[in-house]
Structure 1
Amino acid sequence: MPSVRRDRPDPVPGAADHRARYRRILRFAAWHLAVTWWFELLLPRIGLVRIAERTRTTRMRRFAQRFHALAVDLGGLMIKVGQFLSSRLDVLPPEITRELEGLQDEVPPVPFAAIRALAEAELGAPLSQVFASVEERPIAAASLGQAHRAQLLPANAADAGLHSVVLKVQRPGIDAIVDVDLAALRKVGGWLSHVRLVSDRADMPALVEEFAQTSLEEIDYLHEAVNAERFAADFSHDDRVTVPDVVWERTTRRVLTLEDVTAIKITDLTALLAAGIDPAEVAPVFASVMFDQMFTEGFFHADPHPGNIFVTPNIGLAAERPWKLTFIDFGMMGEVPPSTRRGLRRLLIAAASRDGKGLVAAISDVGVLVPSADTAELERAMTQLFARFGGMGFAELREVDPREFLDFAAEFGDLVRSLPFQFPENFLLIIRAMSLTSGVCSSLDARFNLWDSVEPYAAQLLRDERGNIVQDMTQQVFDAIGAALRLPKRLDELVTRIENGSVSLAKPRLERQVARLNRTAQRSASALVFGGLLIAGSVVRADDTMFGNVLMIASVVPLLHGLWVGRRGL
């Protein structure tokens, strides 16, 4: 029981404890996989589908309750797995996500004696010689470590430029526990890779390895410190965001010392209102900051649950913004490769413009649909989905007659299930971050509509994309002009070499053919320049009428040149 773990120090587990932990995880997974196979695959095949449907809600709730108990008892990565499941509001039923929500909060703390021993071993000195004071009661206890408030010694405080800090220390023996949990998860991932229903949708071994890499990075506090400074650099000129400073002299792989930036928890509505901050104003700013991380910077906080974000009032500061968002805990960060980021940007633009066809194309580009998928029916489904439910917030969706959702699911459910969806790598953290962002915004404002934040952001992305298109077209125009200007000279050199006898002639009329080729090349170059200027002008004209008109008028010059060259060759 958790209460027992609070009352006694946890000894560092030995090999026997690790084997027992490994077997316990596998027994849990094997039993519930067998239950799922029996009810979801076997019974429907023998005509007993109603039994599976009637018991599904109870089975889901029982699974979640048992996993919750297992995760709290074992700790380690099982907490992280539960946190991920609790954030999957998009695919998991509320019976599971609701039961696992508690895993987002604190877990039983490690006694301070064990924390002190590990910290002193890492820092190479008693804590009394390193800090002026350290509070024994933790301010936060997580599955991999816990945090205590501390005060720097006067000399260190003067050097660091701050006095109050947070001392974050790993749980003793967590390295070995993580290794055991990852070994068990790899085994379960191997089992699932042989289940066609799962393997057609996701490469489970690859997803486990992605989760493993993230977990191993999260227990390396030097890596977290680097992440914090990189994140701070990304938002150094953004008055909406602040990040705690790292005290590098008091930081190792297992101990991290940061500026104490504790403020109002982002979902503490009472405290926000007491500070004169409207929670409904915080929600869109938080969403926009998360969008910037994923779609612009490509480096994002992958664990933005309420315990990791504060709202910090700008008390006594002459700033336009009366508060800032303060991010902490940079152990779990995600990176979006440029190619994926471009696909996500197109996906966001298509969603904001209610473009069903564009949305499906973007989903394919990102890699969620295999290239061979027939998307015509899915495009029709997305178009109808946007037409009926597009632009609604969560509160509005709750007011929709459930029969409408059932009708839509009945019409397109089989289609969606039959399509070859897959779960590409790099998406585990993206989906987690977006799910948590949506949840936090909804808790700040029950009527928060994500579309209100998506649409202006997507509009800005579209303007950026147009700028990129114009840049690309301009470059192509200059390349074509350069090629057109170089081609006659190169052809003249070829004719000269032919006249000098340095090139043997296979046909007596080669000169006329070369001349004809010269005119054709010039006409092609003129046509390309004309088309490039005309299309660039039409794109730019939407935002800058004057410049767009100038480009379109200028396109007449290469058009006339192409016609003149063509007539000369007749």
Structure 2
Amino acid sequence: MPDVGNTRARYRRILRFAARHIVQTWWFELALPRLGLAKLAARSRTARLTRIAQRFHVLAVDLGGLMIKVGQYLSSRLDVLPPEITKELAGLQDEVPPVPFDAIRRLAEAELGLPLERAYTWFDETPLAAASLGQAHRARLSPMDAADTGLDDAVVKIQRPGIETIVDVDLAALRRVAGWLSRVRFIASRVDLPALVEEFAATSLEEIDYLHEAGNAERFAENFAHDPRVAAPEVVWERTTRRVLTLADVTAIKINDRDALIAAGIDPKEVANRFASVMFDQLFRDGFFHADPHPGNIFVTPVEPVTDASAPDWRLTFIDFGMMGEVSDDLRRGLQQLILAVAARDGKRLVDSIRGVGILLPSADTAELERAMSELFARFGGMGLAELQRVDQRELRSFAIEFGEVMRALPFQLPENFLLIIRAMSLTSGMCSALDPDFNMWDAVEPYAAGLLRDERGNVAQAIGQQAWSIATTVARLPQRLDALADRIEEGRLVATSPRIEQRMSRLERAAQRIVSAVLFAGLFLGGILLRRDEPAWGVTLIVVSVIPLLHAVFGGLIGRRRK
């Protein structure tokens, strides 16, 4: 465990790095422009930001721990940081040496409560993989555990000793830096940095809780229990604690190993298409998705010949469930609208969807963003990676710079779940393009967009049906109620209770108006259908116009109730 002196030195080193570059940025970005030297600051901006990112890269590799995760996290914050920083940090990996085996042994034995030789028949001292928060070793289960689980080979993940203290120190430093930056009006008006740090803290604390990861692995496996395309490793709960995680060894062909896939008779293009489809299923069907689907976390596992000819002869096996994302029902509906907007290449609808998800503040002026989105769809819409590579790079760079300036000028910030979605989709797109240079994410989205459109139409039809039934019921009862009212008047039994009469008459009036609207809609719509073949322009016009009375017939009752 790190001693107090080392943790204090670590804390101060992080703060010194942040303070130095905050002051430097303040001088170039705020002070010099006020002195009339804005062009001088602009000329050196790219090189200066690149140097900052490079120095942070060195700091992160030297300190390890959570700093590497910070770099990886920041590399995906395209909404907050300029491309000079995100590009440099995108290559930041877990470049840390493994922990000496003696320290790993002590921690594992303390967690499991018995020597490794008793917990496992065999344990490889050389780590299979080493990361900033922990490392993995191959092992073989004891005969008793093997008999209980039906497994033999296993992979054991063990936390780095003292990592919890390091995470606490790093988070304390990050909270302090976020407090400094939140006092800068320019930053505070665009990004809620303290909230951002807390989002990152929650994700990081979940990653070092292996019981949480084990639960995620089982939940993921349950979601795909009846799907032969996907598999996940079984958890060996008898040998799992908060800091030690034992899983079935499911090592197979890495998803990005094209040569090995081809040698096994597996088409990389099919892998790309299936991988994209599985990731979309996680997002839009399950609402629970793998947020870190990089090549080291996904294997292609050949399946032994089976009697069912329809079953796939290979499957995708996911591992490492420390970073998972959840999509709430509201966010899922917002994402569905985003996909529909993308499929329709509709810039305005896309901006409205972005606002609806909560990314843009209500006060944001989106005129420039709508223009940029429309230009994006008009020029590059529907292009895959291979097609984009044939576009003039100067044109791409010019558009990227302009688009980035528009995005950074707006007051918005990606919610945590949305950040994980973007991370997952970015990794998915990159992986699929590496497997298949002609892979087109637009084509992968279209089947889901078509399904969403069918659902959307079904919901509209259901709403129309419900409203039509309500109107029909009212119409059927209307003569009887009017006769009863006339009888009461003739017999002198009509009691005037003003509020109730007014309410009922208002309801009858609205019902009558909605009946008229429904009849008008039917007439215009059917007329448009009949004219569409011989007079397409008039037919389409009538169909479009019929939407107005349709909306009144469906929603007129709701408007009336709100006015009350």
TM-score normalised per structure 2: 0.84
Taking the aligned partners of 2:371 and 2:234, their CA distance within structure 1 comes to 50
Gaps spanning 5+ residues in structure 2: where? 528-542, 554-564
> Aligned letter for 1:180?
V
Partner of 2:298: 309
Equivalent position SS for 1:238? coil
Taking the aligned partners of 1:118 and 1:496, their CA distance within structure 2 comes to 90
Q: Pick the aligned partner of 1:20 from 9, 13, 31.
A: 9
Q: Across the two proteins, how many residue pairs are aligned to each other?
A: 531
Partner of 1:112: 101
Q: Pick the aligned partner of 1:332 from 317, 323, 329.
A: 323
Equivalent position SS for 2:121? strand
Question: Counterparts in 2 of 1:170-569, with a 5 A limit?
Answer: 170-318=159-307, 320-405=311-396, 408=399, 415-481=406-472, 504-505=495-496, 520=509, 523-524=512-513, 526-527=515-516
Q: Deviations over 1:21-61 (max 9, x none)?
A: 11111111121222222223333343433433333333233
Partner of 1:73: 62
- Per the TM alignment, residue 350 of structure 1 is displaced from its structure 2 partner at its CA by 0.7
Taking the aligned partners of 1:23 and 1:450, their CA distance within structure 2 comes to 45
> Aligned letter for 2:168?
D
Taking the aligned partners of 1:323 and 1:65, their CA distance within structure 2 comes to 41
Taking the aligned partners of 2:258 and 2:77, their CA distance within structure 1 comes to 24
Which stretch shifts more, 246-255 or 266-275?
266-275
Taking the aligned partners of 1:100 and 1:294, their CA distance within structure 2 comes to 26
- Per the TM alignment, residue 72 of structure 1 is displaced from its structure 2 partner at its CA by 1.6
Tell me if structure 2 keeps the 8 A contact 1:200–1:422.
Answer: no
Equivalent position SS for 1:252? coil
Taking the aligned partners of 1:415 and 1:83, their CA distance within structure 2 comes to 24
- Per the TM alignment, residue 216 of structure 1 is displaced from its structure 2 partner at its CA by 0.9
Taking the aligned partners of 1:515 and 1:161, their CA distance within structure 2 comes to 71
Q: 1:269 to 1:57 in 2, by over 3 A?
A: farther
Taking the aligned partners of 2:244 and 2:522, their CA distance within structure 1 comes to 59
Q: 1:98 to 1:356 in 2, by over 3 A?
A: closer
Q: 1:376 to 1:482 in 2, by over 3 A?
A: farther
- Per the TM alignment, residue 529 of structure 1 is displaced from its structure 2 partner at its CA by 6.0
> Aligned letter for 2:361?
V
> Aligned letter for 2:358?
G
Partner of 2:49: 60
Taking the aligned partners of 1:423 and 1:71, their CA distance within structure 2 comes to 24
Tell me if structure 1 keeps the 8 A contact 2:61–2:95.
Answer: no
Q: Deviations over 1:466-491 (max 9, x none)?
A: 22332333334444555666777888
Taking the aligned partners of 2:243 and 2:525, their CA distance within structure 1 comes to 55
Taking the aligned partners of 2:165 and 2:127, their CA distance within structure 1 comes to 23
Q: Pick the aligned partner of 1:147 from 136, 139, 148.
A: 136
Q: Deviations over 1:126-168 (max 9, x none)?
A: 1111111111111111111111111111222121111111111
Partner of 1:85: 74
TM-score normalised per structure 1: 0.83
Q: 1:86 to 1:306 in 2, by over 3 A?
A: farther
Q: Deviations over 1:83-132 (max 9, x none)?
A: 22344578766654554345335531111111111111111111111111
Q: 1:502 to 1:380 in 2, by over 3 A?
A: same
- Per the TM alignment, residue 417 of structure 1 is displaced from its structure 2 partner at its CA by 4.3
Partner of 1:565: none
Percent of aligned pairs with the same amino acid? 66
- Per the TM alignment, residue 172 of structure 1 is displaced from its structure 2 partner at its CA by 0.9
Tell me if structure 2 keeps the 8 A contact 1:206–1:425.
Answer: no
- Per the TM alignment, residue 536 of structure 1 is displaced from its structure 2 partner at its CA by 11
Q: Deviations over 1:328-385 (max 9, x none)?
A: 1111111111111111111111112211111111011011211123333432332122
Taking the aligned partners of 1:396 and 1:96, their CA distance within structure 2 comes to 27
Partner of 1:3: none
Q: Deviations over 1:438-496 (max 9, x none)?
A: 22223323343221212222222222222233233333444455566677788888899
> Aligned letter for 1:187?
R
> Aligned letter for 1:349?
L
Q: CA RMSD in A?
A: 3.5
- Per the TM alignment, residue 181 of structure 1 is displaced from its structure 2 partner at its CA by 1.0
Tell me if structure 1 keeps the 8 A contact 2:474–2:511.
Answer: no
Partner of 1:36: 25
Tell me if structure 2 keeps the 8 A contact 1:87–1:436.
Answer: no
Partner of 2:561: none
Tell me if structure 2 keeps the 8 A contact 1:84–1:432.
Answer: no
Q: 1:316 to 1:180 in 2, by over 3 A?
A: same
Q: Pick the aligned partner of 1:129 from 118, 137, 157.
A: 118
Q: Deviations over 1:532-569 (max 9, x none)?
A: 9899999xxxxxxxxxxxxx9xx9xxx9xx9xxxxxxx
Partner of 1:546: none
